[in-house]
Structure 1
Amino acid sequence: MKGSKSASAVLTIAEKCKSILASNWEGKLTTIKADAKGSKGDVHSSKVKYIVKKGKPYVWVPENDPHNVNTVIDERGSLAVTSPFPGPLARILKSMKRSPSRIALTGDVVPLNEEKVQLALESLEEAVISEHKAISGSTYAVSGLISSASLKSTSHIENLKGLLDGSQSYSIYKFDIRSCTFVDGHGNAKEIDLENIQASKTDPLARYAAMLIDGVNQSESRRRALVLFCMAYLNTRPRDAYMLSIDRNGFDILGIVPNPSPHSTNNSEQFLWKEFRLPFPESACDMEKFCHLLVNMEEEAIKKVSSYSGIGV
């Protein structure tokens, strides 16, 4: 598989942070509890929905949530956001004792005035419409892939449209970021310079990553293609494989392979999950390009595997 160095590269940590923020629509907001005497040491946390506008999160807090009182006294807060891992990935990662990559933001939770509230609502509506157009206007390759995904757990539309129906009252806040910490799947944390994050571009696949990944993982035929990729490009033959993450430069696969040093005859220890990286030969600038590249890679992989002596597809 031929490709340029730029297409083979992995995202920088700053780019990963920005893409995690763009890929999700829900985070855990934490503010300092307040009473008549002012702020105290205790905190209140709850899940909130959000959108990203010009690199900043705008959060929707239900009217009866204590955050609305807490931020009147003390605007300081934190927002934790994880990479969405829908479908079977959550179970597999749990068995590996791994967590999704995530970011922890600290900053100020700033209430919006009436004019900016209206702008935030318009931005939310635009985001919902934009995703709907991208999906409804997609080719058969994209729609076929997305049809395998669970939209309730992967779609921004399905998770954000309730903010527009007027069934519940919300206060809307801008989250002004003061610091960002990246935490990988093994729990290793690294604080990231905000200037690097601001200078980084959001990956074009980030918003649709959960749908695309789940679409692959929920389909046996597409998982077989992942096994084929491992055979053709990585000279390994996993029993099964799942897509772990995607970006414009390539994708990561989780494959279950023989354990080179099992500690017992227990069948569960004869195999282990191993992560593999496959680069794209060129940048995947949108969902259409992503699917096109996958199809081309599969055709190439079939030819390579078929040419191996004694190996059939």
Structure 2
Amino acid sequence: MKANKATILSYAEKCKNILVSNWTGQLNTIKADAKGSKEDIHSSKVKYLFKKGKPFIWVPKNDQHNVNTIIDERGSFAVASPLPGKLAYLLKSIKRLPTRVALTGDAVPLKDDKIDFAAEILEETISSEIKVISNAGYSVSGILSSCNLGCASRSENLLELFNEDEEYTVYKFNIRACTFLDGNGRIHEVEVEGFEASKADVLSPYYASLIDGINQSEARRRALMLFCFTYLNANVKDAYMLSVDRRGFDVLGKVPSQALKNGLPEYQWKEFRFTFKDAAHDIESFCNQLVEMEEEAVKSVSNFSGLG
């Protein structure tokens, strides 16, 4: 199986994948009271589901947003790519930001006859994702079983909306502008038309679980190091899965730099891109191709060392 370095996802696709893969975001509305709109901004963390091209946001009944939007529906909504477990600590240690999406638009409360519809969509989404995981084969369970106990899937997190005693107002967020922020803090404006036309990756609901399952496994991280050596002729000292999608995945590898410290080489983290020969059509297809790459890389290194 051949892999190569390439940039293959548009910013619009990256934005949509982040929005589908996460379940919490930062909602910002303009503070208001009975006298009207104020200049200050109220911000809080909320749960949401991205469906039918827009976020549906569950705001607790006692949150100030519910007052603000009566006077002024304008707002912004920010979502970061989910960074589970070890990956979050690594990126923080090297001062690298998570990729993020910033949306501006209007937070519109759903009418009574639409609230039940939103609850049905939420329930169907959770049920569908749980069914996919429970029916998946060994290659999927082999990866997901390594997940940290604290790394719950998107569906498990959204399920809390049904389990909690909290009452919510449900909003749909109508998007007027979209911005993608990369890991280096660079800003990329995304045309709304292009964003609306793009499709979310089929794997996006499972991103966090897949990434954490791989990074929590020492054997799989060693396989990522082999990928860098076998496919890209790069000698890395350590490696983590950074992101996944239907077309491949990105790896952060620890490589020697030209700088020296006490006569020994310093190390830096470098990003490597691997693409599949055939795009994965579901989570099982992704995991199967990853396992095939692992087997191919081990065989290649064994032959190279004269052990095969």
- With structure 1 as the length reference, what TM-score do the two structures score? 0.94
Runs of 4+ in structure 1 deviating by more than 2 angstroms, as ranges, are: 150-154, 264-267, 310-313
1:21, distance to aligned residue in structure 2 (A): 0.4
Q: What is the aligned counterpart of 2:180 among 172, 178, 182?
A: 182
2:109 and 2:242 mapped to 1: Cα distance?
37
Are the structure 2 counterparts of residues 275 and 41 from structure 1 closer, same or farther at C-alpha, using a change threshold of 3 Å? same
- Residue 283 of structure 2: aligned partner: 287
1:92, distance to aligned residue in structure 2 (A): 1.0
- Residue 123 of structure 1: aligned partner: 121
Deviations 1:17-56 (A, max 9, x none): 1101001000000000002220011010000000012111
Q: Which runs of 5+ in 1 are unaligned?
A: none
1:312, distance to aligned residue in structure 2 (A): 6.0
1:150, distance to aligned residue in structure 2 (A): 2.9
Q: What is the aligned counterpart of 2:224 among 212, 218, 226?
A: 226
Q: Match for 2:99: what amino acid?
A: S
The answer on 1:265 being equivalent to 2:262 is yes
- Residue 252 of structure 1: aligned partner: 250
Q: Which moved further from structure 2: 145-154 or 48-57?
A: 145-154
Contact 1:151 1:211 in 2 (8 A): no
Q: Match for 2:286: what amino acid?
A: F
2:83 and 2:263 mapped to 1: Cα distance?
29
Deviations 1:83-103 (A, max 9, x none): 001111111111221111000
Q: Match for 2:269: what amino acid?
A: W
1:274 and 1:190 mapped to 2: Cα distance?
21
- Residue 173 of structure 1: aligned partner: 171
Q: Match for 1:181: what amino acid?
A: T
Equivalent positions of 1:1-313 (< 5 A) are 1-2=1-2, 10-150=8-148, 152-165=150-163, 167-262=165-260, 264-265=261-262, 270-308=266-304, 310=305
Q: Match for 1:303: what amino acid?
A: K
2:7 and 2:267 mapped to 1: Cα distance?
29
Contact 1:151 1:158 in 2 (8 A): no
Contact 1:204 1:285 in 2 (8 A): yes
Contact 2:139 2:287 in 1 (8 A): yes
Contact 1:9 1:279 in 2 (8 A): no
Q: Which runs of 5+ in 2 are unaligned?
A: none
Deviations 1:82-139 (A, max 9, x none): 0001111111111221111000000000011111100000001011101110111111
Q: Look up the SS of the partner of 2:105 in the other structure.
A: strand
1:307, distance to aligned residue in structure 2 (A): 2.2
Deviations 1:233-261 (A, max 9, x none): 01122111110001111111011111222
CA RMSD of aligned residues (A): 1.9
Contact 1:138 1:288 in 2 (8 A): yes
Contact 2:151 2:212 in 1 (8 A): no
Are the structure 2 counterparts of residues 311 and 46 from structure 1 closer, same or farther at C-alpha, using a change threshold of 3 Å? farther
1:260 and 1:69 mapped to 2: Cα distance?
57
Contact 1:8 1:281 in 2 (8 A): no
Q: Match for 2:104: what amino acid?
A: T
1:78 and 1:311 mapped to 2: Cα distance?
58
Q: Look up the SS of the partner of 1:117 in the other structure.
A: helix
Q: Look up the SS of the partner of 1:207 in the other structure.
A: helix
When the two structures are aligned, how many residues end up with a matched partner?
A: 308
